[in-house]
Amino acid sequence: MCSKETFSKLDYLTYQKLRRWANRRHPNKKKKWVVNKYWQTIGEDHWVFATPQEGNNPIILIKHSQIPIVRHIKVKDEVSLFDGDLVYWSTRMGTHPEVSIKIAKLLKKQKGKCAHCGLHFKPDDVWEIDHVNPKAKGGRNAFNNLQLLHRHCHHQKSRFDMVGMFDNHPVIEEPCEVNISRTVLKTSQQGDLLA
Ligand SMILES: [Zn+2]
């Protein structure tokens, strides 16, 4: 149902209630007197529930149909962050019992986004820790040389990292794979020594 119709119906129901209230309030007055006391003509509208227009600023009961209709726009990329999920809380808190500390810290540092494609991680994404400067090029294991990427983004970057380096024996960086899909999480508590 369109909001406009709903609002008109609400206005009608409100009017009925007010009308009954006003009539009860003045049982000895004529209906017309009651109407004139509580309903004013303002602009084109003869049925505005308002204080009498003796002053210039009547207090008006705004009608539902006067409220501009604002359609809700979803910010798609943000939605997953507010589902109360792992990614969100790890990002907020920098730590989460089910996510290794290293990953949680990376998530926080990267504000929940993949360092390669810039999109937010979703709970079911498979992510991997990448060495910004690849180990094959002398990159270290230090935290500031680590970043969290989608697995597919990691693969892309690794291919790019290796271009021209080992023409005869291409070496792909060993992925430190972390899969946080729920089934894996249940068993990963104990073995989660990655951090
Ligand atoms: Zn990515």
**pLDDT given at position 150:** 94
Residue 113 CA, ligand 1 centroid: distance in Å: 8
Please answer whether residues 143 and 102 qualify as being in contact, where contact means their C-beta atoms are separated by less than 8 angstroms.
yes
CA neighbor of 111 nearest in space, from 98, 121, 124, 96 = 121
Alpha carbon of 141 to ligand 1 centroid (Å): 21
Q: Check residue 92 and give its pLDDT.
A: 67
pLDDT score recorded for residue 193: 44
Ligand 1 centre from 21 Cα, in Å?
62
Beta bridge partners of 126: 179
Ligand 1 centroid to 29 CA: how many Å? 74
119 CA to middle of ligand 1, Å? 6
- pLDDT tens digit sequence for 12-28: 888 889 999 999 999 99
Neighbour-count burial for 64-98, b at 16+ CB within 10 Å, e otherwise: bbeeeeeeeeeeeeeebbeeebbbbbbbeeebbee
Residues of the chain with pLDDT under 50: 75, 79-82, 167-171, 181-195
Q: What's residue 10's pLDDT?
A: 82
CA of 161 to the centre of ligand 1 (A): 16
Q: Residue 124 Cα, ligand 1 centroid: separation in angstroms?
A: 13
Is residue 52 a contact partner of residue 58, using CB atoms and an 8 Å limit? Answer: yes
Look up the pTM and report it: 0.41
DSSP code per residue over 146-167:
EEEEEHHHHHHHHHHHHTTT-S
Q: Are strands 39-42 and 176-179 parallel, antiparallel or unpaired?
A: unpaired
Q: How far is the CA of 123 from the centre of ligand 1 (A)?
A: 13
